[in-house]
Amino acid sequence: MITSWTTGVEQVTAKFSQIPTSLRESLRLEVARLSFELVGRVQDDYLSGRALNVRTGRLRRSINAQQTDTSNEVSAVVGANMDKAKYAAAWEFGFNRKVGAGANGGPRTLFGKARERYFLKHPPGTKDFAARPFVHPAFKGMTVEIISGIKRVGLQSAKDTFK
């Protein structure tokens, strides 16, 4: 689930474009620092332990942060690379898949009693895999730190301005 904040965007955009260059640079650096810290928490705390306990590390290595700095915003997006985005989303939100006999074509080389025993051991059907989120809880756990980091940059800039 992606949420966005749209109330008063015009006012925020107008005020953001009036921010001094030094504050804007400090804000950009703070957003970058926080996004890289979030990537670390997702990889270390959630993918390696709490949520998935990954084995190969391919998903863990695909998690990255991309910063955007335009005239209207300074932002960062934390998520999986495009080649792993579907795989990451499946685990983040849950999925179901076909399992058992026939999932990958079934036992093509078995006949007679051997085939019957195989189907008894591996009944066809689907299995639901519950959501095991890793990005969303890491972000929620860092929300207070993100807000305080951005406030700290603003306060430091105000102190520097009025020296």
Q: What whole-number distance in Å separates Cα of residue 9 and Cα of residue 141?
A: 26
| Residue 102 and residue 85 share a domain | no
Is 72 inside a domain boundary?
Answer: yes
| Residue 100 and residue 153 share a domain | no
Is 134 inside a domain boundary?
Answer: yes
| Residue 84 and residue 52 share a domain | yes
Is 53 inside a domain boundary?
Answer: yes
| Residue 113 and residue 88 share a domain | no
| Residue 73 and residue 111 share a domain | no
Q: What whole-number distance in Å separates Cα of residue 53 and Cα of residue 130?
A: 15
| Residue 154 and residue 120 share a domain | no
With a cut of 60, say whether residue 155 has pLDDT above it.
Answer: yes
Count the domains in the chain. 2
Q: Which domain holds residue 119?
A: 95-129
Q: Tell me the pLDDT tens digit for each residue of 51-109.
A: 777 777 888 889 999 998 887 788 899 999 878 888 888 889 988 877 665 556 566 67
Q: Tell me the pLDDT tens digit for each residue of 97-133.
A: 776 655 565 666 778 888 888 878 777 777 788 888 9
Q: Tell me the pLDDT tens digit for each residue of 1-25.
A: 444 444 455 666 666 667 777 788 8
| Residue 65 and residue 22 share a domain | yes
| Residue 38 and residue 83 share a domain | yes
| Residue 134 and residue 64 share a domain | yes
